[in-house]
Structure 1
Amino acid sequence: MELTTVWFILIAVLWTGYFFLEGFDFGIGVLTRTLARDRKERRVLINTIGPVWDGNEVWLLTAGGATFAAFPEWYATLFSGFYLPLLIILICLIVRGVAFEYRAKRSDERWQRNWEHAIFWTSLLPAFLWGVAFANLVRGVPIGPDKEYAGNLFDLLNPYALLGGVFTLLLFTFHGAVFAALKTVGEIRTRARVQALRLGAATAAAGGGFLLWTQAEAGNAPSLLASAAVVVLFAAALRAISLGREGWSFAFSGAVIAATVAVYFLSLFPDVMPSSLDPAWSLTTENAASSPYTLTIMTWCAALATPVVLLYQGWTYWVFRKRIGTQHIADAHTPDAPPAGGQSPAGTAAP
């Protein structure tokens, strides 16, 4: 297998890791306004991701860095053509991180409410915009003979891409609801299961339409198999959550995200950014790649560093594995409370 193909697969794996982990982060952020009934329940939800949300974003940085190093032409065209959506996502991620850290710094109700609104919107927008971006990659965008983006913002806001955005938003929120059921106790856990089932119907409708459209536009035999896997795994996730098996449901919903990313990348290959103007102007794994020497050095670095990252993140999730509920939340914040809903290793929540 050529190194260009290896790195195309590795980048797909990095995006899978990011959407699997950050997906339930985004979902929890959305659920703070749709599942939680009061401030204490919102604090429970935020505490479920408090120890891990920042580590999950490492996958995004790694995916971007790997794209820059392995396929610089792809990186340049992608970030110039999708500049505004990606800038909005970046601003959201910055504000979201600040909101997690600053929300608990003051006990003032208005202060906390404003930061909680910020968490909701900066979770919802990226979840939607990532779907828009990847749908446009699969559909193809205006790329000229110089391999540069030749369109504008409105070219990205087409019906197919908007449906892709709705699908990822619903899928990540469903993933977040399952995670909330897995990580909480009491009434909020029960309502999270119910909300996951309700979200499942909407997600199935949007996802079914999007996958059928994708197969019609750019599909092939491998992407068809991946789409079938999405359907089977999603049905399994719904069945598991209906039976109260949150752990299995979370594993299946994560597998749904992995299969969805596979649909994107299998539909793309061997292109990395197809041109809607002329297929000959498309960026491919060959004409967008770095030199073989660069790819070789990167492969060795990835082989050494990736196991360390996986072990560290696995250890983090193991330490903060216990469930929490409203009984673990103090009645009021104190100004010096730990930021971002951090948990103690014993699984109790910050005040």
Structure 2
Amino acid sequence: MNLETTWLCLLGLLLAGYFVLGGYDYGAQMLHPFLGRDGHEEKRTRPNTALDAIAPFFLGNEVWLVAFTGVLFGAFPHLEGTLLSGLYPLIVAILVGLVLGNAAIQLRGRARSSAGRRRWDALIVFGGALPAVCWGLVLGLLLHGVPRRADGSFHIGPGDVLTPFVLSCGLTTALLFAAHGAAFVALRSHPEAARRARQYGALLLRAAGAVACLPLMLTLFGAGASMNNRVTSAVLVALFAAALACAWWALAHGHHVRAFAATSCAAVLPVLLVGAGHYPYVLVASSGGGMTIGQAATDSATLKILTAFGVVLIPVILAYQAWSWWVFRGRTGRRHPSYF
């Protein structure tokens, strides 16, 4: 494996890690009004089990997105210049959702009235749903192929996004992240809240599986994804379906750890589908062809310098994540502090 492929794998690892960790943040935010408040707490503060579950982690999880962006800028500058400018509206929408959602989570506890809390609640849900849908739209566009110009640039318009394939990818991702968040809340919360989260999670997984059938059918009829490696893509799609089924079974039988592991696998597989399904292309054009990994990557001397930093940086990120999970292990409840 050469340095270019190694760094592409690292780029995919960081994005997949963010989908797992940031995905349950988005899901918990979307489920926040539906899980209800924790009955063990005082009614005047109206805390919520979904927010308590993600409270120690939700800002730290953004480290994976920052690391992904850093690798994209440093190792694949030609891809970054083309991709971020072409997907500019969706990237801005994702950042707006992140800022609004994070701010609303932290400011909700300062509201002095029920109406004020409801307004913050609406922003929390919006801040989770908007990035979740937009990430799904980005995946849909990358799977289908982008409208590249002769100079290699591209720009998406409403006609590129508002297609059955891309929209169904956005909805599937949002439902998957919501189910992933439900599995995480079930894993972290006291028994009553876990029971409610399991019910919502199982329902959302069935909905995600049903909606995911549409992009699959469109692809089979030639109106969906343009995959370069069809056998690999078929295997990854089958694994995605198996992960959804395993997660549903685990939630239905109260196996929280297994359910969260299965939804984590389901969140990772779309990233693998884009990377492995299109390889050696990193960006596929809807008209055919695209940008190869060699065209996207920086020169080998720069990659060697970046490798020295990556050898140190990646273990630090992994160690930080493991440490935070260890420190804040255990379920929320009466004896667990309410961070908001």
Query: Normalised by the size of structure 1, how large is the TM-score?
Result: 0.88
Range moving further from structure 2, 263-272 or 157-166: 263-272
How far the C-alpha of 1:177 sits from its partner, in A, is 0.8
Q: CA deviation at 1:197?
A: 1.3
Name the CA shift for 1:152/1:288 in 2 (closer, same or farther; >3 Å).
same
What's the CA shift string for 1:166-209, capped at 9, x where partnerless? 01000000111111111111322111111111112111112233
Letter in 1 for 2:5: T
**Which residues of 2 match residues 180-329 of structure 1 at below 5 A?**
180-214=185-219, 217-219=225-227, 220-279=230-289, 282-325=290-333, 327=334
Q: CA deviation at 1:90?
A: 0.7
Q: Find the aligned partners of 1:324 and 1:130 in 2 and give their Cα distance.
A: 29
Secondary structure of the equivalent of 1:54? Answer: coil
Q: Is the 8 A contact 2:28 2:185 kept in 1?
A: yes
2:16 — aligned with what? Answer: 16
Do the aligned partners of 2:87 and 2:156 also contact (CA within 8 Å) in 1? Answer: no
- Cα distance per residue 1:14-52 (max 9 Å; x no partner): 111000001110000000123326877752211111110
1:52 and 2:41 aligned: no
| Deviation of 1:213 (Å) | 4.0
- State the 1:291 CA deviation: 0.7
AA matched with 1:23: G
The amino acid of 1:43's aligned partner reads: N
* Letter of the 2:312 counterpart: L
Report if the CA contact (8 A) 1:197-1:238 is conserved: yes
Deviations, residues 88-135 of structure 1 (Å, cap 9, x unaligned): 111111111211221123433332221111010110011011000111
1:158 aligns with 2:166: no
- RMSD of aligned Cα (Å): 1.9
C-alpha change, 1:129 and 1:150, in structure 2 (3 Å) is: closer
Contact 1:240 1:246 in 2 (8 A): yes
> C-alpha separation between the residues in 2 aligned to 1:18 and 1:98?
19
Q: Which consecutive unaligned segments of at least 5 residues does structure 1 have?
A: 329-346
For 1:43-82, list aligned pairs within 5 A.
Answer: 43-82=48-87
Structure 2 SS opposite 1:149:
coil
Please give the alpha-carbon distance, in whole angstroms, between the structure 2 residues aligned to 1:278 and 1:222. 19
Helix, strand or coil: the match of 1:283?
strand
Contact 2:278 2:284 in 1 (8 A): yes
Pair 1:88–1:20, CA change in 2 (3 A): same
Tell me if structure 2 keeps the 8 A contact 1:167–1:210: no
**Residue type at the aligned position of 1:297:** I
Residues of 1 paired with 2:216 and 2:337: CA distance?
Answer: 41
Structure 1 residue identity aligned to 2:331 = R
**CA contact under 8 A between 1:81 and 1:152: conserved in structure 2?**
no
Take 1:37 and 1:46, find their aligned partners in 2: how far apart are those partners? 10
Q: Which moved more, 1:173-182 or 1:2-11?
A: 2-11
Aligned residues: 330
Gaps (5+ residues) in structure 2?
A: none
Deviation at 1:349, TM superposition (A): 2.4
What does the per-residue CA deviation read over 1:211-259, in whole Å, with 9 as the maximum and x for residues that have no partner? 4545663231111111111122222211111111101110111012122
CA shift for structure 1 position 65: 1.5
Which residue of 2 is the match for residue 348 of structure 1? 337
1:264, distance to aligned residue in structure 2 (A): 2.0
Question: CA-to-partner distance for each residue in 1:139-167, whole Å, 9 max, x for gaps?
Answer: 11111121111543432222211010001
Verify the 8 A CA contact 2:104 2:121 in the aligned structure 1. Answer: yes
Summarize the Cα distance change of 1:166–1:42 in structure 2 as closer, same or farther, 3 Å threshold: farther
Moved over 3 A (4+): 37-42, 211-217
Any conservation in 1 of the 2:37–2:49 contact (CA below 8 Å)? no
Residues 41 and 188, structure 1, Cα contact 8 Å, conserved in 2: no
Q: Give 1:61's aligned amino acid.
A: V
Deviation string for 1:52-83 (max 9, x for gaps)? 00111111111112111111111111111111
Name 1:335's counterpart in structure 2.
none
Q: Which moved more, 1:30-39 or 1:294-303?
A: 30-39
Which residue type is aligned with residue 286 of structure 2? Answer: S
Q: Which amino acid aligns with 1:276?
A: S
Matched position secondary structure for 1:218: coil
**Equivalent AA in structure 1 for residue 317 of structure 2:** V
- TM-superposed deviation, 1:11: 0.9
In the alignment, the residues of structure 2 paired with residue 178 and residue 62 of structure 1 have an alpha-carbon distance, to the nearest angstrom, of 26
Identity %: 33
2:114 to 109, 114, 128: 109
Letter in 2 for 1:20: V
Contact kept, 8 Å, 1:32 with 1:42, in 2: the verdict is no
